[in-house]
Amino acid sequence: MFKNALVSVSDKTGLVEFLKPLAAKGLRIVSTGGTAEHLKAAGLQITELKEQTGFPEVMGGRVKTLHPRIHMPILARDFEASDLELLKKEGLEPFDLVIVNLYPFEETLLKKDKDGLGEQDLIEKIDIGGPTLLRASAKNFSRITVVADPRDYEWISSQGQTSLEDRKKLAGKVFAHVSRYDSLISQWLGAVNGPELSFGGSKVLDLRYGENPNQKASWYAASGDRKGLHTAKILQGKALSYNNILDLEAASQLAREFDEPTAVAVKHNNPCGVGMAESLLVAVERAAAADPVSVFGGIVAVNREIDADVAELLGKIFLECVVAPKISAAALEVFAKKKNLRVLEWPDLMTCERGTEIRTLAGGFLTQTPQDLGSSTANWKFLGEVPGDAVMKDLQFAEKVCAALKSNSIAIVKNGQTLGLGMGQVNRVEAVTHAVTRMKSHHKITNQMVLASDAFFPFPDSIEKASEAGVKWILQPGGSLRDEEVFAAARRLGVNMVLTGERHFRH
């Protein structure tokens, strides 16, 4: 049974309900400022903090709990006689329950633009005393139950006490919570690419398993994010898998790159069909027809509202998931016929910004800024004809699609539709071969097609294969030692070359 509690919270949810039964059993409560007033108003007997410290809150509340007569009862070790003797000498009782949550820095950061808040408003929400209390209490978990999350009130109440294992878990939770809080502040202060880096997140859910059934997995939302995929609503279907989430992210990232109505089909984290048109219905038709074999069991992201007609078309394909910024009620009625299809509505699909990319390594991790999937056409160089509007549109389309594929990658497109995609090959000519083979499998051979490459061509052989397949425009960054040989082959074969100066590797 708890005897002495220190309580200082910003989130008062469930606090009175948690403390009343404990107070009825003799719990003494020491509390601060607004928390004390809240508890008093509920009829609880409270010892004001200044009664414990003999010192008033000062500097507008900036200094209140940072006092030896608060931290001695927290840090005192029950196995050290000298610690207990000191408490007795000072007339202090050790705290065995500490309930603290922190100033709402994250919430303030998220609404700063909307509410017109400035830097000083955020600074005032950086908690100092709270993290200190939490860390001190968590350090002494052998005898102190420390609670930072109101969701823990219920199970603690039902048990009536905590075991050493319980207290250890709560302490671990506290250190993770404080670490996340501090990392959010450091990111706000611009420490993302500094000599030290920390980042935090909140668990969205535990997943059934990871990439494979023998792997454990969880999904976390990045600290301070309120627009990411985790905010999407699952309107239909069972829980998302690890692979679903990766593919939804990949499909959405590419769909977000286009202003025109666009549909992106993804399989195993690679686009397998992309369509762009003046209407979403036509865009979906193009994406589905791009590679009708590979789209089976895939995931489709679109960048416009899905209506009933689009839903009917998508319903004819076996898909794992569909995601859109908005889905009409009529479309949902259509999707309801496909009970195993996961349907997600993500209002911020088009406005969500990609953050720093992080890749884990043995003993560390790499960070990088997100890739710009489309280079500025102002820097393009044209070797051959200058493209008209239609070809120019396909060149830009092809570059973005190619940049979303695993390297080495090739994208062959025409009229806003991918015809053949080659990805994940360890040499460029094989990537061209794969793209051409896929194109020939599903489309009649045409001319004036556009081909994009994520990197330069080291030899003319890829140009020759592309020309044989009917490609008349090739977009690439350039930069090979044999550029002149490659350019000469293009001139000889009547292929127009577009140099962007921008590589688009993806690993």
Residues labelled catalytic:
139, 268
Amino acid at 268: H
Neighbours of 386 (CB within 10 A): 9
Encoding tokens for residue 328? 């009409």
- 406 secondary structure, DSSP code: P
Distance of alpha carbon 331 from alpha carbon 311, whole angstroms: 5
Contact 62, 128 (CB under 8 A): yes
Encoding tokens for residue 50? 């200044």
Sequential DSSP letters for 14-26: THHHHHHHHHHTT
Distance of alpha carbon 46 from alpha carbon 20, whole angstroms: 12
Distance of alpha carbon 381 from alpha carbon 294, whole angstroms: 34
> With left for phi above 0 and alpha for psi between -120 and 50, is residue 474 left, alpha or beta?
beta
The helix (run of H) or strand (run of E) holding residue 410 is: strand 410-414
Q: Alpha carbon of 407 to those of 332, 427, 430, 431, 488: distances in Å?
A: 37, 9, 11, 9, 25
Query: ω into residue 408 within 30 of 0, thus cis?
Result: yes
Alpha-helical runs (H) found in 31-144: 33-41, 49-53, 68-75, 81-90, 105-115, 119-123, 129-139
Contact 416, 449 (CB under 8 A): no
Contact 178, 130 (CB under 8 A): no
Encoding tokens for residue 26? 């003799």
Encoding tokens for residue 148? 């930072």
Encoding tokens for residue 422? 């080659």
Strand ranges for 129-207 from DSSP E: 145-147, 201-206
Angle at 463 between CA 458 and CA 469, to 5 degrees: 145
Angle at 43 between CA 41 and CA 47, to 5 degrees: 85
